[in-house]
């Protein structure tokens, strides 16, 4: 069962978005992804569009607390790779960005196992926290939609 989303309601009302932005920043810091060196941006994609509704349990949990994906975001480094769409997006990453992604994931995994955090100098700074995978995923979604539209095109002769 999917939980109703308040995303469209909040996005249409700038005052609500301004009110939720500090909550989004607080959540980003409280989640601790940056302390592990992962990228966690606040302008990301809805995982339901990537993997299908209800396929990522955390999505429903965040909606239950009234937090929305457009305000909160999702860590680009933590987007599940099981989707064919995400795998294609990872293949389209530039080699340096792909290497950096694997390095961040391995370093975060090591920190998690050892129950430590990175030193402050190595933690991801908010200004360094930029989207890198989400734009490619959105581009692939548009390409898929365009392909589907062209496949379903009906040509009528006069």
pLDDT along the chain (158 residues), means of 10: 66 85 81 82 48 47 38 65 90 94 92 91 86 90 94 87
Q: At what angle do helices 134-151 and 84-92 cross, to 10 degrees?
A: 120
In this predicted structure, what is the pLDDT of residue 69?
38
The answer to whether 103 touches 111, Cβ cutoff 8 Å, is: no
3-class SS of residue 48? helix
Question: pLDDT value at position 74?
Answer: 55
Q: Which residues 6+ apart lie within 8 Å of 152 measured at CB?
A: none
pLDDT number for residue 97: 93
* Architecture category of domain 7-151 in CATH: Orthogonal Bundle (1.10)
Predicted local confidence at residue 27, as pLDDT: 81
Question: CA-CA distances (angstroms) from residue 103 to 48, 93, 100, 129, 132?
Answer: 27, 14, 5, 15, 15
């Amino acid at each position: 069962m999917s939980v109703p989303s308040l995303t469209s309601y909040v996005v249409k009302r700038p005052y609500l978005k301004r009110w939720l932005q500090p909550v989004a920043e607080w959540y980003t810091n409280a989640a601790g992804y940056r302390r592990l060196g992962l990228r966690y941006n606040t302008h990301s994609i809805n995982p339901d569009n990537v993997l299908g509704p209800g396929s990522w349990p955390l999505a429903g949990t965040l909606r239950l607390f009234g937090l929305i994906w457009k305000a909160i975001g999702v860590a680009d480094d933590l987007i599940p790779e099981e989707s064919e769409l995400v795998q294609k997006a990872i293949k389209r990453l530039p080699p340096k960005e792909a290497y950096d992604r694997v390095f961040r994931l391995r370093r975060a995994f090591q920190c998690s196992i050892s129950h430590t955090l990175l030193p402050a100098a190595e933690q991801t700074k908010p200004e360094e926290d930029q989207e890198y995978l989400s734009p490619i995923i959105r581009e692939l979604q548009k390409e898929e939609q365009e392909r589907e539209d062209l496949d379903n095109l009906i040509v009528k002769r006069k």
